[in-house]
Structure 1
């Protein structure tokens, strides 16, 4: 997923086949994988919930036709390290973010 992408549909379209994305659906983070067409092997624009999140997704299907909120999951900053971010600016490069974010 492209970090900072406010459009979940665009983020899903840019995923590689079988790549994982976390979306916040109705306030709950759910993990999905990009679907590959099993007959052709080509990627699709669809995603499928991971097995651990499938039941929650299935429950949401009972609300089919009603509006739900879907947002890309944004990791919460570590409250301990947040004050240090202003003093350790040499670590605020895109290369460092790619290497160390999510640890």
Structure 2
């Protein structure tokens, strides 16, 4: 298990243990993290699992592929550290990662 933290728009912190190999989105859904809607179920066909990755740790996440980049065009308030949580796989190297949930999802 890998420790991941989510910060919701109201400042509430959700510290969860995520199963290695699962997507960060799956971990959020399993732990009832508000604001991660995941309308497409993790198929990278929407932008409702948009998160902001802690900028200091962004280099630890594999670069996004074209499909994710295209889907982020539908997200609100996209920033340089924006990612779709369905495209981030949990692995031990990400232990302690902090993700911030945007105020609104697309």
Provide TM-score, normalisation by structure 2. Answer: 0.26
Q: Point out the structure with max Rg over C-alpha.
A: 1
Higher RCO structure (Cα 8 Å, ≥6 apart) = 2
Give the helix-richer structure, 1 or 2: 1
**TM-score, normalization: structure 1?**
0.26
